[in-house]
Amino acid sequence: MTRPYPQVGDAHRGGLADQRGLTGWLPRRLAAAEPRITVIGDVMLDGWWSGTIERLCREAPAPVVEIGDRKFSPGGAANTAINLAALGAKVQLAGLSGHDDASAELFRQLRNAGVDVTRVHQDVGLTTTTKTRISSGGQVLLRVDDVQGEIPAEAQEILAESIPQLLEDQEAVVVCDYGAGALSGAVRSTLLDLLPARSELLLVVDAHQPHAWAGLKPDLATPNAEEAAGMLGVKLPAGSARAAVVVDHHKELLEAAGAEAVVVTLDREGTVLLPKSGGIHRTWARPVKEAQASGAGDTFVAALTLARAASLPLTTSVDFAQAAADVAVHRSGTSVCSTADLSRHLEGFTGAALDADELARQLSRHREEGRRVVLTNGCFDVLHRGHTRYLNQAKQLGDILVVALNSDDSVRRLKGPERPINTITDRAAVIAALSCVDYVTVFDTPTPIPLLQRIRPEIYAKGGDYSPEMLAETAVVERYGGRVAILDYVPEQSTTAVVDRIRNSHTPSHGKSDAATSGTHPARTRPTVQ
């Protein structure tokens, strides 16, 4: 489907369709757009209870947990909704709940966050699904699920009747189907009847069984690894090998989901974007060793929807969503990533460049864990699709990707007195914010040979416009036992061309350049985000 979403940025100022770095101002600009988004699905309440254990109970060899702290958070579709609201969207939530203490707490938190819950139907015959984790000493011991049970047809019909009004004046719809039953019966039939015809809406499906919603022809489907395996009828391998299997089944996943693009979330391995047209795109998570986080996938879906509703390029939207999920997963419980949280996270990459000595110390630790280091270098002045594709390819050559940036003086020597457009501080922050990049450093020498000799990466990666024989670095790398890898050349993508286009543009451009991977569309009549 062709959906005319509002644009963020413009060509005159070097709009986001061209300059894809994630910086601290971006979440604030997206929040200022206040996109109108409806979330419809299974609403839940998550409980996180913690206490101490000092004895076993008499009835069985089971620990007695003396609860000291009780916390509750919106879960399921409600977690997606509250994350969207925290990121600046105007959100209405639709679903079914009981009329009980759990629903009272759920509604209180949602209303306080600014979520419109008038379309969440409370039925006295239902129990609000509540999932309570009980922990001690930072370890989850047990989860107790109080589930909704069979949903009366009358409740489904009430929700179904509200759907046409829900869709009025909206920019995006997220269908969150956790299999709890709210989206069955009349609700399912109504959604399948109405949504495919609403081509102006961005449609995102986040479902345990995405193939069940293929008839919606969504713009995006967001299965996790287990859900993707179910769609394919295969068992995915453990660890990093899952991404390769997902890529191998690219076409089957798209067909099963009926979607324009599928984003498979892989927990610690990040995500894989599989679009119908354009290149496959990877992100890498910044995991924590021991986390008691839940709902980071909902945060990912919320941030992805927000970014696409504001017409960020698809690959940039996935990177943006990965950054939001990284914030959530570093917190305990079912957490929310706000605009301020994400801005601080991205601003934290400012000053992220390490000197050679500190970089060598960090890489020594990774090598002790058996990880291979990849290094590439360049100016990376105005980030564009060629850069991001290149860096993602470099990351897949090993385990740790180091990007060595030319200093500002070095760029001037190479490119002329009017370059760089962005200072080394800005360039380092933008590159460091990419999920595929682990470390950034800066060099001022004519070539990175001194740096290569200092950190001795297992793989030195360069773009396809070079050959090993052209590089003075090749002999150095091969002398210490490393390997030079030449990556694919991305034609018609150059920083100089982007800079010339920005300087020569006098009016905003909403054309289809880079449509295959950016997904940009003509603007609506409402104001663009400046």
Give me the DSSP letters along 141-192.
EEEEEE---SPPHHHHHHHHHHHHHHTTT-SEEEEEE-SSSTTSHHHHHHHH
Contact partners, residue 84, CB within 8 Å, separation at least 6: 37, 39, 91, 174, 302, 305, 306
| 287 — pLDDT class (breaks 50, 70, 90) | low
Catalytic: which of 298, 381, 438, 514? 298
Give the pLDDT confidence score for residue 527 in this predicted structure. Answer: 29
| 139 — pLDDT class (breaks 50, 70, 90) | confident
Choose among 434, 452, 444: nearest CA to 412. 444
Residue 1 has pLDDT above 50, yes or no: no
User: Do strands 36-41 and 90-98 pair parallel, antiparallel, or not at all (unpaired)?
Assistant: parallel
Give the pLDDT confidence score for residue 502 in this predicted structure. Answer: 57
Q: How far apart are alpha carbons 505 and 251 in whole angstroms? A: 38
Residues 177 and 200 sit within 8 Å (Cβ to Cβ) = no
H or E, element range at 450: helix 449-455
Q: What tens digit of pLDDT does each residue of 365-424 get? A: 899 989 999 999 999 988 877 888 889 889 999 999 999 999 999 999 988 888 888 899
Residues 263 and 222 sit within 8 Å (Cβ to Cβ) = yes
Residue 499 has pLDDT above 80, yes or no: no
Number of Cβ atoms within 10 Å of the Cβ of 471: 17
Token couple for 345: 């996270």
Burial per residue of 67-77, b for 16 or more beta-carbon CB atoms within 10 angstroms, e otherwise: eeeeebbbbbb
Contact partners, residue 51, CB within 8 Å, separation at least 6: 65, 66, 67, 68, 69, 134, 135, 136
Cis-peptide, bond into residue 237, ω within 30° of zero? no
Give the pLDDT confidence score for residue 521 in this predicted structure. Answer: 36
Q: How far apart are alpha carbons 466 and 444 in whole angstroms? A: 21
Helix count and strand count (H, E) for the chain: 19, 20
Give the pLDDT confidence score for residue 334 in this predicted structure. Answer: 75
In order of 51, 115, 374, 383, 447, the CA distances from 77 in angstroms are 28, 12, 40, 35, 52
**Greatest extent of the chain over all pairs of C-alpha atoms, in Å:** 80
In order of 156, 167, 174, 218, 420, the CA distances from 205 in angstroms are 19, 15, 6, 7, 41
* Inter-helix orientation angle 296-309/77-86, to 10°: 50
**Has 101 been annotated as catalytic?**
no
Token couple for 44: 């839940």
Residues 157 and 79 sit within 8 Å (Cβ to Cβ) = no
Query: What's the distance, CA 388 to chain centroid?
Result: 15
Please name the amino acid found at residue 474. T
Please name the amino acid found at residue 426. D
Burial per residue of 288-307, b for 16 or more beta-carbon CB atoms within 10 angstroms, e otherwise: eeeebbbbbbbbbbbbbbbb
Q: How far apart are alpha carbons 116 and 263 in whole angstroms? A: 28
Residue 493 has pLDDT above 80, yes or no: no
**φ, ψ of residue 466 in degrees (nearest 5):** -115, 165
Q: How far apart are alpha carbons 440 and 378 in whole angstroms? A: 11
**φ, ψ of residue 425 in degrees (nearest 5):** -60, -45
Q: What tens digit of pLDDT does each residue of 433-485 get? A: 888 999 999 999 999 999 999 999 999 999 877 777 888 899 999 999 999 99
Would you call 114 exposed, middle or buried from its count of C-beta atoms within 10 A (0-12, 13-18, 19+)? Answer: middle
**φ, ψ of residue 434 in degrees (nearest 5):** -70, 135
Token couple for 180: 């709890």
Residue 104 has pLDDT above 90, yes or no: yes
Choose among 429, 453, 475: nearest CA to 356. 453
DSSP-derived letter for residue 487 is P
Give the pLDDT confidence score for residue 11 in this predicted structure. Answer: 27
Q: How far apart are alpha carbons 477 and 445 in whole angstroms? A: 17
Length of the chain: 530
Would you call 239 exposed, middle or buried from its count of C-beta atoms within 10 A (0-12, 13-18, 19+)? Answer: exposed
Residue 53 has pLDDT above 80, yes or no: yes
Model-level pTM greater than 0.85? no
Give the pLDDT confidence score for residue 505 in this predicted structure. Answer: 58
Rounded mean pLDDT, 323-336: 85
Give the pLDDT confidence score for residue 497 in this predicted structure. Answer: 60
